[in-house]
Structure 1
Amino acid sequence: MSHTFTNDLIHETSPYLLQHAHNPVNWEAWQPEVLQRAKKENKLLLISIGYAACHWCHVMEHECFEDEAVAQVMNTHFINIKIDREERPDIDHIYMDALQLMTGSGGWPLNIVALPDGRPFWGATYVQKDNWTKVLEQLSKTYQEEPIKVREYAENLANGIKQVNLIPAKPDNTILTTKQLEKVIADWSKYFDTFLGGYKRAPKFMMPVNLNFLLHYSTATNDESVLEYVNTTLTRMAWGGIFDHVAGGFSRYSVDTKWHVPHFEKMLYDNGQLVSLYSQAYAATGNELYKETAERTIDFVQNELMNENNGFYSSLDADSLTPEGKLEEGAYYVWKEEALKKLLGTDFPVFKDYFNINAYGHWEHGNYVLIRDASLNALAMKHDLKPEELQKIINRNLALLATEREKRERPRLDDKILTSWNGLMLKGLTDAYRYFRDKKYVELAIKNALFIEKNMLREDGFLFHNHKNGKSSINGYLEDYAAVIDAYIGLYEVCADAKWLHLAKKLTDYCLENFLDKASGLFFFTSKRDDFIIRRTLETTDNVVPASNSIMAKNLFKLSRFYFEKGYEEQAREMLRHMQENLTENGQNHANWLQLNLLLTQEFYEVAVVGDAYAGKLSDLQKTYLPNVIMAGAGEDSKIPLLSNRFINDRTLLYVCQHGSCKLPVSETSEALDSVSISTGH
């Protein structure tokens, strides 16, 4: 296919950047030499940041960046830089903070106008075509006529960008007590939607990190109201249109309060975390819906986001083509009532009731998004069926829908592979195996772990961030190290291959050498070896994905119990102490930190299983939900300090320890479980 225009993005591998490679805009990727040229020419930077699955990014591209008249304005006055936020989260952090300081809100596409040195002075998200050209011409004119004024504003904004990320050293802070933690949860719970789950607002994001902590907290403290809220949220999410009932997997968020109509993009990082969450929730509650949801989510990832070498791709687009060839959000996923009647025949009345092909399930323009609103048992009783009979009907009909849907144009795939997101999915697989004991999950986990080791990891402990077409090119960020360390620890616990634990320690030591900010006690998002713009970011807020610093703090804590490295736990405690005010003022945005606080204030155990039958006993132990326990196993004497000098011929013994100090060994898993109960009561 011939193209009228081709710009420098044609040399990139990111699908998002390649989508813009044939715009008439003279786009370039972010490179130090581009900024050097901008300074030499005294030309403003126009920086546009988005990602491949972003609906409004596509809209703005079509309206503005594909228009030759708009492109002429941009090319005349600016050096135009396109950035994939998923490839360069370090730059995205800076300019998102800038946008929020300027406007009070953020989002993507993120459009920034900056001085030649990268300091921003204007920003916006989606802008309509007419307004876009007017704004750009005015900004260029202002810079030409009042450069001192623009530079002063940019300097003040740059100072604000630095200030908003400062974490003052507060080594005297004490970790939250149980009573203080209760107060944080009480304040947080005012926002809970106890009927539909999530928070009392729309849109609704799934926030797996928050639910993971609340599950741990509620089971540890016997807080039945919080546990009920968690179960309500998990059930409504699994019932909702946000979950793809046909092929499994979750979309990004719902635009309404009942989890019905999603923003249809499907992201690896959401699904990896949700596999972990639902697996743990199944272990804690025994609810089969949670197990089925986790398993079907893995099926989706394996079928639609995995390459031939067992690496996981990033996302599926929100938009897809209608039968008329028009790109629309959700076109691949929605259904018309008449089409369902024709397809399902005599099963349609039951299916209609089950998935609400009615006013409750209607979205717009005669399109329905499948959503449940009642349990299997309740609907089976209503239709005078046994639950297993109803389930068989539903499964049969969903298989028909899956076959029919395959005839449609599929959403576009973002096939770049990101280390951090693969780490989140790998952790999900280890949790699925831990609690379901299905060997295919640990086999897949090991294959993905080996993919990361082979393609993303160098001998010296250096990780790459991305992988595409057999090449890894961008230096890893703290999120990459943190997620992979966490996943490798989890993989070690379920398969007892010491290689993964040693790799986790090696990566941790690399971070301590290359990412640690000694002034704050936290880790920079970028390595000290890498360039940065305006500031070196400290990522501390837990959002849809936990902050890289909170994951690292928990990694250090866990590794301190395997290796008895006193410095690891001290580092984790120091990091948590610096965050105490954030925890008390805004608990819901620091849930992973709160979980570390819980681990440090409740009873925490190490369980070592040593002997010929260690694998079976580990398996028995790990079916139980025990977030306050780490586990290690070996069939012989091991160099891992937690296991060292514990092997006795012809016996398999379980050691329950705290800080390496162990009770007398026992031979039955039931005896060990009696010693490590999660619940502390009140």
Structure 2
Amino acid sequence: MRKNAQLMKKTVFFILFTIAALSCKQKSDEVTHKHTNALIHETSPYLLQHAHNPVNWEAWYPDVLERAQKEDKLLLISIGYAACHWCHVMEKECFEDEQVAEIMNEHFINIKIDREERPDVDQIYMDAIQMISGQGGWPLNIVALPDGRPFWGATYVPKDNWIKSLEQLAELYQKDKPRVTQYASDLANGLQAINLVENDRDSELYSLEQLDAAMHNWTQYFDTFLGGHKRAPKFMMPNNWDFLLHYATTTDKPDIMEFVDTTLTRMAYGGVYDHVGGGFSRYAVDVKWHVPHFEKMLYDNGQLTSLYAKAYAATKNELYKDVVAETIAFVKEALMDQSGGFYSSLDADSLDENGKLEEGAYYVWTKEELTRLLGDDLEMFQTYFNINSYGHWEEENYVLIRDKPDEEIAEKFNITVPELKTKINECLTILKKERNKRPKPRLDDKILTSWNGLMLKGLVDAYRYLDNEDYLDLALKNASFIEREMIKTDGSLYRNHKEGKSNINAFLDDYATVIDAYFSLYEVTFDEKWLDLAKNLLDYSKKHFFDSASGMFFYTSDKDQSLIRRTIEVDDNVISSSNSIMAINLYKFHKLYPNEAYGTMSTQMLKNVQKDFGRRAQGFANWLHLVLFQNQNFYEIAILGGNCQSMGQQISKAYIPNSILVGSQKDGNLELLKNRGASDKTLVYVCIEGACKLPVTKAEEALKQL
């Protein structure tokens, strides 16, 4: 009994102690965070950054929009992303301010949106602000009617102007609602009109002569000395250089090839490339690719991995091979989740030595630091990376930039190129070790399907053209992650994933990029599992995204909430448009499944957008691959036999953009693989629209037929 009493006392004491501890923790949390809003329940790091603002932020959900209409309260929609510098500035100046929050909470229902999670909403309101003001950017702030129709917008706004604007807008809505409603209706009609795509059934397909003329117009913008376009800031635009590489090699245009080579070399030499840790920043603010906007995005690095791998296959330039290897190493180290998915980005800002958030603080160097760290190798390093007026950024800081090839610097220091590279790599290793001691940039650790699709394609291309098995292992791990975590039981996709949670239905770019990546993975593995998954996703897209009236694909599924419009995305920007990727997917699947309507759909999509190619080819760069596919021979390469894998590897190392590759150890299910096998040898068939040349038994013989 006495033992039981003592045990009871201990138990009661433990319970009381636990309650007290929890109470203290709760009070501590309340002190740490004076305010908490509905964003605390989200998984997006960008939304969570705002979860303790005094503003009563909510995420974009149907019930929030319904409540706005019931209460007849204006929507204040603020859109940004985790790596956005000016988003952080406006948060600090406005959204953390209690005076500002009081006005916002009184007059508006405030919605925060991560543009990377909800590009469907972002597209519409970005078009709106460009119609209102002629320019756009992030943070993107929109005031809309309770039903979501916008009537006012701005990007970054300082506190005093923000307060004044919001007070005037609230007053205007109260005193002159009909005028506001009419303006919003007119703007909504305009948003519908600019998104219309005509179903052009009468025009002839774009010809090579027309393409050459369009290319002539485009070349007027080339910066032939520093690469890229004649402007600042300079964006990497992977789809531009990817198409120009394709065009230059298949139409024998050495001047275009020289421009591509200049561009890729200058980008790799520039400060926009992280020489210490690998990987590319977002863009350069100047004309020489020197000072970047320091945020690092998965989608840039995935696409650039593909681009440099293809360029290496076409040129055998070792610089391009190094860029691929270092970029993949960066992504693996900084952006890879243990599950096999890839995170979204690293912030541009990080804490400097004074504990203040500064853009680029993690990446820049002072001459004093370099002198202390590099000792006797400083002179060579300074020459190599321009620790001089050419490489100086601001204050005491330098951003590493190259402007001379290894051979020229090796000659100056009277050493061999291998000796130079060894010395420089030793210096970079020292700098990386030192940099790792600095506070790291903030990580956006949400996983987005479309960006993972782009990175998966990059890994597949790196394996294909550089023949490194590690890249295939990474690709298979990521492909399995997408299959396991992002594909639902009904065959649809999720858009987002974090810590085991996914809650947003995928958009067209998610489907298009994963289909492309899975198809490419099939080409290097001949594992029909990936081809079947790709085809299932393609057929799902046809059923739920295709618009028979325009012959194009909507950005959103017919299963999703209806917005002001269902966007049709056709312009190729920093990422290729979802419709252009889908049109190329359809074209390739037509080669394997000729009895389905894939080819007809692809051709019609191309016809619908080709009228704009001559005026602005660079804005349709990914579409232009289809012009070459339609006007030149496009090869289906079929390999059958016990040695199909090895033969496939030999052939796929060659840069042949106008081809697809299929293979099997014995007669397969695809039309191209039926009744063509031989029991005692491996045969390669080079085919055009299913009509094949005589089979050969060696890779080099097959390549000659191309």
Aligned to 2:614: 584
Q: Secondary structure at the match of 1:447?
A: helix
Shift of 1:70: 0.8
Aligned to 1:65: 95
Task: Indicate the larger mover: 569-578 or 166-175.
Answer: 166-175
Q: Secondary structure at the match of 1:279?
A: helix
2:353 is the counterpart of 1:334:
no
Which runs of structure 2 are paired with 1:34-45 in the superposition (5 Å)?
Answer: 34-45=64-75
Task: Indicate the larger mover: 561-570 or 410-419.
Answer: 561-570
AA aligned opposite 1:461: G
Q: Secondary structure at the match of 1:348?
A: helix
| Pick aligned residue for 1:404 from 428, 434, 459 | 434
Aligned to 2:3: none
Aligned to 1:273: 303
| Pick aligned residue for 1:264 from 263, 286, 294 | 294
AA aligned opposite 2:163: T
For the residues of structure 2 that align with 1:535 and 1:653, how far apart are their CA atoms?
Answer: 52
For the residues of structure 2 that align with 1:225 and 1:623, how far apart are their CA atoms?
Answer: 24
Which runs of structure 2 are paired with 1:310-329 in the superposition (5 Å)?
Answer: 310-329=340-359
| Residues 258-302 of structure 1: per-residue CA shift (max 9 Å, x gap) | 000000000000000000000000000110000110111000000
Q: Secondary structure at the match of 1:112?
A: strand
| Residues 159-208 of structure 1: per-residue CA shift (max 9 Å, x gap) | 01001100011111222111100011000110010000111110000000
For the residues of structure 1 that align with 2:632 and 2:344, how far apart are their CA atoms?
Answer: 37
On the 8 A contact 2:291/2:393 being kept in 1, the answer is yes
Task: Indicate the larger mover: 555-564 or 192-201.
Answer: 555-564
On the 8 A contact 1:266/1:318 being kept in 2, the answer is yes
For the residues of structure 2 that align with 1:617 and 1:470, how far apart are their CA atoms?
Answer: 40
Aligned to 2:632: 602
Aligned to 2:406: 376
Shift of 1:560: 1.0
On the 8 A contact 1:539/1:549 being kept in 2, the answer is yes
On the 8 A contact 2:68/2:75 being kept in 1, the answer is yes
On the 8 A contact 1:559/1:565 being kept in 2, the answer is no
AA aligned opposite 1:409: P
Which runs of structure 2 are paired with 1:445-484 in the superposition (5 Å)?
Answer: 445-484=475-514
AA aligned opposite 1:321: L
Task: Indicate the larger mover: 317-326 or 642-651.
Answer: 642-651
AA aligned opposite 1:155: S
AA aligned opposite 2:566: R
Structure 2 length-normalised TM: 0.95
Structure 1 length-normalised TM: 0.98
On the 8 A contact 2:546/2:553 being kept in 1, the answer is yes
| Pick aligned residue for 1:622 from 649, 652, 674 | 652
Between the two proteins, the alignment pairs up a number of residues equal to 676
Q: Secondary structure at the match of 2:492?
A: coil
AA aligned opposite 1:232: T
| Residues 438-469 of structure 1: per-residue CA shift (max 9 Å, x gap) | 10111110110000000000233200000011
Shift of 1:669: 1.1
On the 8 A contact 2:638/2:672 being kept in 1, the answer is yes
Shift of 1:583: 1.6
For the residues of structure 1 that align with 2:506 and 2:673, how far apart are their CA atoms?
Answer: 32
AA aligned opposite 1:201: R
Aligned-residue sequence identity (percent) comes to 61
AA aligned opposite 1:172: D
Task: Indicate the larger mover: 636-645 or 35-44.
Answer: 636-645
- Unmatched 5+ residue regions in structure 1? 677-682
AA aligned opposite 1:552: M
Aligned to 1:244: 274
For the residues of structure 2 that align with 1:24 and 1:594, how far apart are their CA atoms?
Answer: 49
| Pick aligned residue for 1:343 from 363, 370, 373 | 373
Which runs of structure 2 are paired with 1:41-440 in the superposition (5 Å)?
Answer: 41-440=71-470
Q: Secondary structure at the match of 2:76?
A: strand
Shift of 1:532: 2.5
Which runs of structure 2 are paired with 1:457-606 in the superposition (5 Å)?
Answer: 457-606=487-636
AA aligned opposite 2:410: A
Shift of 1:227: 0.8
AA aligned opposite 2:516: D
Q: Secondary structure at the match of 1:191?
A: coil
* Cα RMSD (Å): 0.7
For the residues of structure 1 that align with 2:418 and 2:440, how far apart are their CA atoms?
Answer: 32
| Residues 584-638 of structure 1: per-residue CA shift (max 9 Å, x gap) | 2211100011111111111100000100111111111011100011001111221
On the 8 A contact 2:462/2:471 being kept in 1, the answer is yes
AA aligned opposite 2:531: L
For the residues of structure 2 that align with 1:459 and 1:74, how far apart are their CA atoms?
Answer: 42
Shift of 1:504: 0.8
Shift of 1:566: 4.3
Aligned to 1:14: 44
AA aligned opposite 2:63: E
Q: Secondary structure at the match of 1:36?
A: helix
AA aligned opposite 2:117: E
| Residues 219-251 of structure 1: per-residue CA shift (max 9 Å, x gap) | 111111111111000000000000000010000
- Unmatched 5+ residue regions in structure 2? 1-28
On the 8 A contact 1:242/1:259 being kept in 2, the answer is yes
For the residues of structure 2 that align with 1:295 and 1:159, how far apart are their CA atoms?
Answer: 49
On the 8 A contact 1:214/1:227 being kept in 2, the answer is yes
Shift of 1:315: 0.3
Shift of 1:670: 1.2
For the residues of structure 2 that align with 1:502 and 1:103, how far apart are their CA atoms?
Answer: 46
For the residues of structure 2 that align with 1:106 and 1:137, how far apart are their CA atoms?
Answer: 23
On the 8 A contact 2:217/2:614 being kept in 1, the answer is no
For the residues of structure 2 that align with 1:563 and 1:350, how far apart are their CA atoms?
Answer: 58
Asked which structure has the greater CA Rg, the reply is 2
Shift of 1:473: 1.1
On the 8 A contact 1:564/1:642 being kept in 2, the answer is no
Q: Secondary structure at the match of 1:122?
A: strand
On the 8 A contact 1:173/1:580 being kept in 2, the answer is no
Task: Indicate the larger mover: 7-16 or 376-385.
Answer: 376-385
On the 8 A contact 1:196/1:236 being kept in 2, the answer is yes
For the residues of structure 1 that align with 2:481 and 2:611, how far apart are their CA atoms?
Answer: 40
Shift of 1:318: 0.5
Shift of 1:391: 0.4
AA aligned opposite 1:664: L
Task: Indicate the larger mover: 472-481 or 577-586.
Answer: 577-586
AA aligned opposite 1:586: R
AA aligned opposite 2:639: V
